[in-house]
Amino acid sequence: MEINEAIMAFSQSEKIKAGLIWVSQTLNLLEGFPGGEKAGGEKVINAVLSMVGHEIKLARSVGGDCGWEEIEPYLEKALVMVHSGVGGEANAHLSKALSKITNIAHESMTLLKERGLL
């Protein structure tokens, strides 16, 4: 990984991690919503997950190949769960995605620290 790729990977990973944590916490809140409100909440979660997916695609293009492609299937599975009305089960897939993103952040941060940039 080049330094410029590490900088972008670190930056993107932090943003994507935050988005996934927000979605996960919102999914937990959604469990207690009544019917109509739950449907509206699922639409919001779907929109945010789609935005996170776009950020991952951006990270792949600017941050080099450091494992971003491994994250997309987990997001797709989470979206399917939300669309199917079982959003609470999406958290397992989001946790796996979060773990992969944390690995990318760690690798890029390690490189930046070794080079004295952090």
Q: What is the pLDDT of residue 37?
A: 87
Exposure class string for 77-111: b at 16+ Cβ within 10 A, else e: bbbebbeeeebeebbebbebbbebbeebbebbbeb
Instruction: Please compute the mean of the pLDDT values over residues 54-68 and round it to a whole number.
Output: 85
- Range with the largest mean pLDDT of 24-33, 71-80, 85-94: 71-80
The pTM (predicted TM-score) of the whole model is 0.86
Domain boundaries, the chain: 3-114
Q: Identify the band that residue 67 occupies on the pLDDT scale cut at 50, 70 and 90.
A: confident
Q: What is the pLDDT of residue 21?
A: 95
Task: Domain 3-114: give its CATH code.
Answer: 1.20.120
CA gap 89, 112 in Å, rounded: 36
- Cα dihedral 94, 81, 24, 29, rounded to 10, equals -170
CA gap 114, 112 in Å, rounded: 5
